[in-house]
Every structure is written in structure tokens, then in C-alpha cells.
């Protein structure tokens, strides 16, 4: 593949185009048609998300994590293309860790927000990542929404994703300033549940993440909304006699030649 020394190599694009012409359908990107929400309460921030990941109209992952770690005091819920979200949140998480080492200080939520918005704006919306970023730093609790084109809003309560209108309905009806922790968690869970029940792109379970000055409570599968009538036991144990033996053939290895030492693997 010598023609480009460095830079992009577009050889596979020709191959993909050829396959497409022959009638092969390209795989669809996994999207997180989603309900994500966050709200600021008395002592901090509560973030919530559903756990359904879709590829077209098939559920690709019934229990994926949409609340991504950014810093010990900052988490981000993500909606949009799953790959874009994973990569952009991991990228900012790394950048922000390096920033911590350079400054010797706790990460500020607004730092992560600026890194996200500048990256997303650079790609003019082609990086399909819509985030609800929340955390607690020296200036108190913060909650931001970040859109794929790079615009941000600072709000006391926010929702994003295909189920955002469902969740926002709950927030607009029941949000109050300075809620207590159990009320705040119940309201966010209710908002996500509203998305799970009424939006086709959202489903499965509710994850919550509570961030205060004292630390983070990552409540994976806070509400488990899908009851499976039958769960398979792992490892599967089949008693002898389950499968009927039709034929048996025993091979002796006496005539096999064993060579010690081997040719080195070609790693050039």
C-alpha cells in the first residue's frame, strides 16, 4: 500500500463501492435513539438515561451504558451515534485528565463542555453526539446540554434524544428548585421511564448517576423495567445421554510426527 506515505488511505472505499454496486447493504451505524435527562437539585446533579441501543429498527444492545465517565466529578449522558459518543467522551475524558495533571486541580464541568463544543463545532455536526453534561466542581453543581453542531445551553433541567419530549413533559410538570435527593432521583427516573414507555427508540432499563460534592453514586440499572420470563443458566450443563450417539470413530495419534521448535512468525 505504498502510494501514500502517511495521510489517509482510501483503498477500501473503492472496495466498499464495488460491494455496494453488487447489491450488498452496508451495515447501519448503531444509534442510541434515546432518552437522557439531567436536573440540578439542592446538593448536586442527577443524570439519567435509558439503556436501549438500536441499529435501524432492531435493538442492538438491550442494556448499554449511556452515562459516560468524564472525570471523577463529571459525567455525560449521550444520544446520537453510539460510536461517535464513545469516542468523543473517551477523548474528552483523556484530555481533561491531562489537564488535571497539568493544573493540579479538580476538573471543572465548564472545561469539559468547552472541549466538547470546540471539537463538535470543528466537525460541523458530522460527529453525531448530543450530550447532557453534568457535574459538581468548586463553583457548585452544573448542567449543560451540548448539540452536535457545537452549541451549548446551561439549564437547571434538561433532556435530549428521541424521547426528550416525553422526559421534558415530566420535568415541566414536576420540577421545582432545591429538590431533596430522593425527590430528584424519583423525578429523573420518572422522566426516563416516560421516554422508555412512550418512545420506540428508548427502552429497557433506567440508569441514574447522582453527583454531589461528596462524590458520585453510579446507579446502574436503577430501575429494571424488563422482566424476562426465562433466563438461561450459565454454564449450561447437559447431562450425559442428552444427545443420542449415532456413530463413534476413534483415531490413534501413534503415527503423528512431533517437531520441536518452529519457524519464527513473520512480523515484518
Partner 1 sequence: LGTSIIALTFDGGVILGADSRTSTGNYIANRASDKITPLCDNVYTLRSGSASDTQAIAGYVQHFIAQHQAEEGDQVTVKTVANLVKMMAYNNKDFMQAGLIVAGFDKHGGGQVYSISLGGTVTATPFAMSGSGSTYINGFCDKYWRENMSEQDAMEFITRALRYAMTWDASSGGCIRTVTITAAGVKRQFIQGSQIPPTYGELPRQQVVA
Q: Which residues are catalytic?
A: 34
Interface with partner 1 includes 174 (CB under 8 A)? yes
C-alpha torsion sign, points 192, 197, 200, 202: positive
| CB atoms inside a 10 Å sphere around CB 219 | 17
Report whether 45 contacts 145 (CB < 8 A). no
Which one of 141-149, 207-215, 234-242, 255-263 is the stretch in contact with partner 1 (CB under 8 A)?
A: 141-149
Nearest approach in angstroms of CB 136 to partner 1 is 22
* Closest listed residue to residue 34, CA positions, set 268, 171, 201: 201
Which one of 72-80, 149-157, 197-205, 242-250 is the stretch in contact with partner 1 (CB under 8 A)?
A: 149-157
Binder among 61, 83, 110, 150 for partner 1 (CB under 8 A):
150
Binder among 118, 126, 213, 220 for partner 1 (CB under 8 A):
118
DSSP structure class, residue 161: S
Distance CA 64, CA 58 (A): 14
Applying the rule CB under 8 A, the residues between 25 and 64 that interact with partner 1 are none
Interface with partner 1 includes 153 (CB under 8 A)? yes
Residue with cell 429494571: 224
Binder among 4, 16, 103, 151 for partner 1 (CB under 8 A):
151
Distance CA 177, CA 263 (A): 71
Which residue lies nearer to partner 1 by CB, 70 or 120?
A: 120
Nearest approach in angstroms of CB 153 to partner 1 is 4
Distance CA 42, CA 29 (A): 39
Interface with partner 1 includes 100 (CB under 8 A)? no
CA distances from 19 to 1, 9, 12 (A): 20, 18, 11
Binding residues for partner 1, rule: CB under 8 A, are 114, 117-118, 120-121, 124-125, 145, 147, 149-153, 155, 165, 172, 174-176
Amino acid at each position: 500500500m505504498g502510494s501514500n506515505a502517511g495521510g489517509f488511505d482510501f483503498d477500501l472505499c473503492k472496495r466498499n463501492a464495488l460491494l455496494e454496486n453488487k447489491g450488498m447493504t452496508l451495515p447501519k451505524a448503531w444509534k442510541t435513539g434515546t432518552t437522557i435527562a439531567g436536573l440540578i437539585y439542592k446538593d448536586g446533579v442527577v443524570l439519567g438515561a435509558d439503556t436501549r441501543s438500536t441499529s435501524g429498527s432492531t435493538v442492538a444492545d438491550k442494556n448499554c451504558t449511556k452515562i459516560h465517565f468524564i472525570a471523577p466529578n463529571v459525567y455525560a449522558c449521550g444520544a446520537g451515534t453510539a460510536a461517535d459518543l464513545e469516542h468523543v467522551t473517551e477523548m474528552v475524558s483523556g484530555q481533561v485528565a491531562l489537564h488535571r495533571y497539568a493544573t493540579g486541580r479538580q476538573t471543572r464541568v465548564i472545561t469539559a463542555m468547552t472541549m466538547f463544543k470546540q471539537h463538535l463545532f470543528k466537525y460541523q455536526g458530522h460527529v453525531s453526539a448530543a450530550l447532557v453534561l453534568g457535574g459538581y466542581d468548586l463553583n457548585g453543581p452544573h448542567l449543560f446540554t451540548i448539540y452536535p453542531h457545537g452549541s451549548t445551553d446551561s439549564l437547571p433541567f434538561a433532556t435530549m434524544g428521541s424521547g426528550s419530549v416525553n422526559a421534558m413533559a415530566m420535568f415541566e410538570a414536576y420540577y421545582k428548585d432545591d429538590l431533596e435527593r430522593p425527590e430528584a432521583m424519583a423525578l429523573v427516573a420518572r422522566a426516563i421511564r416516560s421516554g422508555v414507555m412512550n418512545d420506540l427508540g428508548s427502552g429497557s432499563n433506567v440508569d441514574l448517576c447522582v453527583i454531589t460534592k461528596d462524590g458520585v453514586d453510579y446507579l446502574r440499572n436503577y430501575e429494571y423495567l424488563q422482566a424476562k420470563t426465562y433466563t438461561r443458566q450459565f454454564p449450561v450443563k447437559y447431562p450425559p445421554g442428552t444427545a443420542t450417539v449415532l456413530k463413534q470413530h476413534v483415531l490413534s495419534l501413534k503415527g503423528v510426527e512431533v517437531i520441536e521448535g518452529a519457524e519464527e512468525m513473520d512480523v515484518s
